[in-house]
Structure 1
Amino acid sequence: MSDPANYTVGWICAVETEYVAAQECLDAEHPRLAAQDANDNNIYTLGSIGSHNVVIACLPHWNYGLVSAANVARDMLRTFPNLRFGLMVGIGGGVPTKQDVRLGDIVVSSRNYENGAVLQYNFGQTVQDKAFRMTGYLDAPPLLLQAAVQQLNARYRRHGNMIDKAINAILERNPRLRDEYRRPDPATDRLYQSTVVHRATSYESCIAVCGEEEEDLIVRTPRSEDEDNPKLHYGLIASADQLIKDAMVRDRLAEEKGVLCFEMEAAGLMNHFKCLVIRGICDYADSHKNEEWQGYAAMAAAVYAKDLLGTIVPTKVAAERKLGELLGKVYENLRDVQTLASETRHNVGELKMDSHLKKIRSWLKPPDTARNFNNARTRHQGNTGQWFLNNETYLKWKKPYLKGAKGSNSFLWLNGIPGCGKTILSSSVVADLEQSAALSTNLIYFYFDFNDVEKQSLENAVRSLITQLYHKRSEVRAEVDTLYSSCGKGAQQPSIAELHNVFLRTLQHAGEIWIVLDALDECSTRDNMNGLLPWIEDLRKSDLHIHILVTSRPEIDIKSVIEGWAGKEEIISVQGQPVENDIKSYVQAKTKLMWRWKDRQDIQQEVETALTKAHGMFRWVSCQFDSLDKCLDPKSVRKALADLPRTLDDTYARILKAVPPEHLFKAKRLLQFLTYSERPLRLEEAVDAVAVDIDNRPRFDTGNRMFVPEEVVQYCSSLISLVRKNDTGDGTARMEIQLAHFSVKQYLMSDRLQVDV
Structure 2
Amino acid sequence: MTSPHPMSETKASKIVENVTSTLETALGVLETFGDLTANVPYLNTITGVVKSNKERVNVLFDKIGIITQTIAESICTLDETQRGAAAESFRGDLEKYHSVLVDAARIVNEWTSHSVMRRVLKRSDFDGIADNLEKKIETFRDVFSVARLARLSQGQHEANNMLAKLLNSDTRSTLKDWLKPADVGANYQDALNKKHPGTGKWLLENSLEFREWTYAPTSFLWLHGISGSGKTVLSSMIVDKIRDPRWLYAFFYFDINNPNQQKVNNMLCSLVHQLSAQMPCPPLLKLCEACQNGEILPSNSELLPILKELSGHQEIYLVLDALDECSERTMLLEILASILEAKLSTMHLIVTSRTEITYFDIAKEAVLVSLDEAIRGDIELYVGDQLSNMGGYIAKNKDGIRKQLLDKGSNMFRLVALQLEAFRKSGGTKSKVNQALATMPTTLAGIYDHILEMTDMPEQVCRVMNWLIFAMRGMRLAELIDALAFDFSQDSIRFDEDERMDAQTLLNACSSLVSVPQNWDAKSVVRLSHASVKDYFLDSGSTKCGVKVSDQEAQGLIAKTCLAYLNSFSLIPDISVLKKRVSSCAICVMALGLPSEALQKFCWRLQSL
Query: Shorter chain as normaliser: what TM range?
Result: 0.5 to 0.7
CA distance in 2, matches of 1:419, 1:741: 8
- Structure 1 residues 15, 507: closer, same or farther in 2, change over 3 A? closer
SS at match of 2:350: strand
SS at match of 1:511: coil
SS at match of 2:473: coil
- Structure 1 residues 593, 675: closer, same or farther in 2, change over 3 A? farther
Q: Please, which runs of 5 or more residues in structure 1 have no aligned partner?
A: 1-12, 17-40, 42-60, 64-200, 206-242, 246-346, 402-407, 727-731
- Structure 1 residues 384, 15: closer, same or farther in 2, change over 3 A? closer
Is structure 2 residue 299 aligned with structure 1 residue 500?
no
Q: What does residue 479 of structure 2 align with?
A: 685
> How many residues in Structure 1 have an aligned counterpart in Structure 2?
400
User: 1:495-523: per-residue Cα shift (whole Å, max 9, x none)?
Assistant: 32112222222223x42211111111111
Q: What does residue 351 of structure 2 align with?
A: 550
Q: How does 1:305-384 map to 2 (within 5 A)?
A: 354-384=169-199
- Please state how far the C-alpha of 1:589 moved relative to its aligned partner: 2.3
SS at match of 2:347: strand
- Please state how far the C-alpha of 1:753 moved relative to its aligned partner: 4.4
Q: What does residue 645 of structure 1 align with?
A: 441
- Structure 1 residues 395, 607: closer, same or farther in 2, change over 3 A? same
- Choose the corresponding residue for 2:368, options 571, 593, 603: 571
Q: How does 1:718-757 map to 2 (within 5 A)?
A: 718-723=512-517, 735-751=524-540, 753=542
Q: Give the aligned residue type for 1:512.
A: E
More strand by share: 1
SS at match of 2:425: coil
CA contact (8 A) 1:719 1:741 kept: yes
Q: What does residue 151 of structure 1 align with?
A: none
- Please state how far the C-alpha of 1:416 moved relative to its aligned partner: 0.7
SS at match of 2:319: strand
Q: Please, which runs of 5 or more residues in structure 2 have no aligned partner?
A: 5-38, 40-86, 90-150, 547-609
- Structure 1 residues 410, 688: closer, same or farther in 2, change over 3 A? same
CA contact (8 A) 1:389 1:429 kept: yes
- Structure 1 residues 462, 605: closer, same or farther in 2, change over 3 A? same
CA contact (8 A) 1:686 1:712 kept: no
- Please state how far the C-alpha of 1:590 moved relative to its aligned partner: 2.3
CA contact (8 A) 2:394 2:401 kept: no
Q: How does 1:444-593 map to 2 (within 5 A)?
A: 444-474=250-280, 477-508=281-312, 510-527=313-330, 531-544=331-344, 545-555=346-356, 558-566=358-366, 570-576=367-373, 578-593=374-389
SS at match of 2:355: coil
CA distance in 1, matches of 2:515, 2:422: 15
User: 1:413-438: per-residue Cα shift (whole Å, max 9, x none)?
Assistant: 1111111111111111111111x453
Q: Give the aligned residue type for 2:414.
A: R
CA contact (8 A) 1:653 1:754 kept: no
User: 1:691-724: per-residue Cα shift (whole Å, max 9, x none)?
Assistant: 33345798333344344x3553211211111148
- Choose the corresponding residue for 2:221, options 399, 412, 428: 412
Q: Give the aligned residue type for 1:369.
A: V
SS at match of 1:419: coil
CA contact (8 A) 1:683 1:710 kept: no
Q: Give the aligned residue type for 2:337.
A: E
Q: Give the aligned residue type for 1:506.
A: L
Q: What does residue 210 of structure 2 align with?
A: 394
CA distance in 1, matches of 2:165, 2:329: 30
Q: Give the aligned residue type for 2:170.
A: S
CA contact (8 A) 2:264 2:326 kept: yes
CA contact (8 A) 2:254 2:262 kept: yes
- Structure 1 residues 665, 352: closer, same or farther in 2, change over 3 A? farther
CA distance in 2, matches of 1:349, 1:718: 45
- Structure 1 residues 601, 491: closer, same or farther in 2, change over 3 A? closer
CA contact (8 A) 1:369 1:446 kept: yes
CA contact (8 A) 1:623 1:718 kept: yes
SS at match of 2:229: coil
- Choose the corresponding residue for 2:451, options 639, 644, 655: 655
SS at match of 1:384: coil
SS at match of 1:361: helix
More helix by share: 2
Q: What does residue 609 of structure 1 align with?
A: 403
- Structure 1 residues 350, 676: closer, same or farther in 2, change over 3 A? farther
- Structure 1 residues 412, 671: closer, same or farther in 2, change over 3 A? same
User: 1:333-363: per-residue Cα shift (whole Å, max 9, x none)?
Assistant: xxxxxxxxxxxxxx99988851221111111
CA contact (8 A) 2:322 2:354 kept: yes
CA contact (8 A) 1:369 1:447 kept: yes
- Please state how far the C-alpha of 1:464 moved relative to its aligned partner: 0.3
Q: What does residue 625 of structure 1 align with?
A: 420
CA distance in 2, matches of 1:656, 1:349: 54
RMSD: 3.8
Q: What does residue 21 of structure 1 align with?
A: none
CA distance in 2, matches of 1:517, 1:705: 40
Q: How does 1:87-486 map to 2 (within 5 A)?
A: 354-390=169-205, 391-399=207-215, 408-434=217-243, 436-439=244-247, 442-474=248-280, 477-486=281-290
User: 1:41-99: per-residue Cα shift (whole Å, max 9, x none)?
Assistant: 9xxxxxxxxxxxxxxxxxxx959xxxxxxxxxxxxxxxxxxxxxxxxxxxxxxxxxxxx
CA contact (8 A) 2:220 2:365 kept: no
Q: How does 1:710-721 map to 2 (within 5 A)?
A: 710-721=504-515
Q: Percent identity of the aligned residues?
A: 31
Q: What does residue 496 of structure 2 align with?
A: 701
CA distance in 2, matches of 1:736, 1:550: 27
SS at match of 2:516: strand
CA distance in 2, matches of 1:587, 1:604: 10
Q: Give the aligned residue type for 1:448.
A: F
SS at match of 1:472: coil
- Structure 1 residues 698, 753: closer, same or farther in 2, change over 3 A? closer
- Please state how far the C-alpha of 1:555 moved relative to its aligned partner: 1.8
- Please state how far the C-alpha of 1:15 moved relative to its aligned partner: 9.1
Normalised TM-score (structure 2): 0.59
Q: Give the aligned residue type for 2:210.
A: Y
- Please state how far the C-alpha of 1:675 moved relative to its aligned partner: 2.3
Q: Give the aligned residue type for 2:512.
A: S
CA contact (8 A) 2:259 2:472 kept: yes
SS at match of 2:372: coil
- Please state how far the C-alpha of 1:465 moved relative to its aligned partner: 0.4
CA distance in 2, matches of 1:703, 1:654: 30
CA contact (8 A) 1:653 1:753 kept: no
Q: Give the aligned residue type for 1:388.
A: L
CA distance in 2, matches of 1:356, 1:741: 36
- Structure 1 residues 598, 350: closer, same or farther in 2, change over 3 A? farther
Q: What does residue 42 of structure 2 align with?
A: none
CA distance in 2, matches of 1:373, 1:360: 22
CA distance in 2, matches of 1:584, 1:695: 48
Q: What does residue 272 of structure 1 align with?
A: none
CA distance in 2, matches of 1:634, 1:495: 60
